[in-house]
């Protein structure tokens, strides 16, 4: 129908990004005493693919490791284990120097545009810097590219001479997006790009993401905690819980009939802006909060909060397995809350 539907052709092409068993462990509380400190597995053997031209949404609550995962993909964190294959090249083991030629193929959009733009430099300089660093264009070429970029994000070219503080939050986020697009990257990781914005402005930026995907065939990993925004922008959605993927599959499928109890609870917890009873889902109130990743529960990470947990969930950790409908879910008893 529209470009929003997940075309099955994605699955047949070669993935642009293939993440294999990626893990990231942080050591906390380490002192000078040898052997002190505790390791925290923020991202725990995560695997997924992102296909060219696709937007993959990544949702989860705070502390689930979604931002850490995004930063690992950008190699802003070193990776503890696993492979990150970007367009055929495993970038996980590369040194910073080796990584340099690949940096321009992957760019990041940050949550807080006010904090990620240098307040002392004009917008034009901010956008031109990546072009200069990567020797992408001559001086006249840069000037032309800057105007193009401003046009892509619907800002007047006259704004190039202004400083970041002169803009509103939505405009600043547009500049952040323009900067990420400057090098025509193959992959964009957007980490909560709209959550710092007011609702009315948020809709503008969400629309901009939809436009960009159609116009530039962007491949994006869209990280957000707001499920309704993720539904709007992504063909496929992955749900993370405590460092691992609980469920991943076509967005429409996942939202219509979530298989993992956590996805079900997450969807049911969102307040629906309507007073019509028909549009309300039966709420599944979860007990407690996300456990600390430093001390994760045994078996299925979700079992202490899961309303459908059984004996097996306490001991045996479920792996991400494919279902016939094309999604993957890490649960021993998928759909067990369907009738609840």
Partner 1 sequence: MSAPLLDVRGLSISFAGRNGPIGVIEDLSFQVHEQETLCIVGESGSGKTVALLSMLGLLDPLSSRVQGSASFKGKDILSASRETLRQLRGREIALISQDPMTAMTPVHTIGWQIVEQIRAHTDMSSRAAWNRAIELLGEVGIANPRMIVGQYPHQLSGGMRQRAMIAMALSCNPSLLIADEPTTALDVTVQAQVLDLLRRLRRDFGSSIVLITHDMGVVAEMADRVLVMYAGRIVEHGPCEAIFADAWHPYTWGLLDSIPPLDGPRPDRLVSIPGSPPQPDKRPPGCVFAPRCRARTAICAEPPPRQAANGRDALCFIDYADRQARRFGLAENMDQPA
Q: Which residues bind partner 1 (CB under 8 A)?
A: 2, 4, 61-62, 154-155, 168-171, 174, 198-204, 206-207, 210, 225, 227-229, 231-232, 252, 255-256, 265-276, 279, 283, 285-286, 288-290
Whole-number minimum distance, CB 198 to partner 1, in Å? 4
Q: What minimum distance in Å lies between the beta carbon of 36 and partner 1?
A: 21
> By C-beta, is 66 or 145 nearer to partner 1?
66
Q: Are 281 and 298 in contact (CB under 8 A)?
A: no
Task: Take residue 214 and report the two structure tokens written for it.
Answer: 């159609």
Measured CA to CA in angstroms, residue 24 lies from 78, 195, 231, 245, 247 at distances of: 8, 25, 27, 14, 20
Instruction: Rank residues 96 and 271 by Cβ distance to partner 1 and give the closer one.
Output: 271
The first and second tokens of residue 191, run together, are 């980490």
Give the nearer residue to partner 1 in terms of CB position, either 183 or 286.
286
Least Å distance, CB 227 to partner 1, is 7
CA distance 65 to 126: 29
By beta-carbon proximity to partner 1, the closer residue of 82 and 243 is: 243
200 and 147 Cβ atoms separated by less than 8 Å: no
**How buried is 175 (Cβ within 10 angstroms: 0-12 exposed, 13-18 middle, 19+ buried)?**
buried
Instruction: Find the helix packing angle between 199-216 and 139-152, rounded to 10°.
Output: 120
Q: How far is the CB of 156 from partner 1 (least distance, A)?
A: 9
Using CA atoms of 328, 74, 167, 194 in order, give the dihedral in degrees to the nearest 10. Answer: 10
Cα–Cα dist 218/289, whole Å: 35
Residue 115 CB, nearest approach to partner 1 (Å): 17
The nearer residue to partner 1, 52 or 169, going by C-beta atoms, is 169
Q: How far is the CB of 140 from partner 1 (least distance, A)?
A: 27
| CB closer to partner 1 out of 130 and 258 | 258
Closer by beta carbon to partner 1, 110 or else 167: 167
**Which residue lies nearer to partner 1 by CB, 19 or 246?**
246
In whole angstroms, the minimum distance from the beta carbon of 78 to partner 1 comes to 28
- CA–CA separation, 10 and 50 (whole Å): 9
Compute the least distance from the CB of residue 65 to partner 1, in Å: 14
Closest approach, Cβ 274 to partner 1, in A, equals 6
Residue (154 or 321) nearer to partner 1, CB: 154
């Amino acid at each position: 129908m529209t470009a929003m539907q997940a075309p099955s052709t994605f699955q047949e092409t070669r993935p642009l990004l293939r993440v294999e068993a990626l893990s990231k462990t942080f050591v906390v509380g380490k002192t000078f005493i040898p052997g002190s400190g505790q390791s925290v597995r923020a991202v725990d053997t995560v695997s997924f693919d992102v296909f060219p031209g696709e937007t993959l949404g990544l949702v989860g609550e705070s502390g689930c490791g979604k931002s850490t995962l995004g930063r690992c993909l950008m190699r802003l964190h070193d990776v503890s284990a696993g492979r990150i294959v970007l367009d055929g090249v495993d970038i996980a083991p590369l040194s910073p120097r080796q990584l340099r030629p690949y940096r321009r193929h992957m760019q990041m959009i940050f949550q807080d545009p006010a904090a990620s733009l240098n307040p002392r430099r004009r917008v034009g300089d901010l956008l031109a810097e990546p072009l200069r660093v990567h020797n992408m264009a001559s001086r006249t070429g840069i000037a032309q590219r800057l105007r193009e970029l401003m046009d892509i994000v619907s800002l007047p070219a006259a704004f190039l001479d202004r400083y970041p503080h002169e803009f509103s939050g939505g405009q600043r986020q547009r500049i952040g997006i323009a900067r990420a697009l400057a090098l025509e990257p193959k992959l964009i990781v957007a980490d909560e790009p709209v959550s710092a914005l007011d609702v009315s402005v948020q809709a503008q930026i969400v629309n901009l993401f939809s436009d960009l995907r159609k116009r530039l065939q962007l491949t994006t990993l869209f990280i957000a905690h707001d499920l309704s925004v993720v539904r709007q922008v992504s063909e496929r959605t992955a749900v993370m819980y405590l460092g691992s993927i609980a469920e991943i599959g076509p967005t429409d499928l996942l939202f219509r009939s979530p298989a993992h109890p956590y996805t079900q609870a997450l969807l049911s917890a969102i307040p629906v802006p309507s007073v019509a009873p028909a549009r309300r889902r039966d709420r599944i109130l979860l007990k407690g909060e996300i456990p600390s990743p430093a001390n994760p529960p045994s078996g299925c990470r979700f079992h202490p909060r899961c309303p459908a947990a059984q004996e097996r969930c306490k001991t045996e950790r479920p792996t991400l397995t494919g279902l016939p409908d094309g999604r993957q879910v890490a649960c021993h008893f998928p759909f067990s809350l369907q009738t609840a």
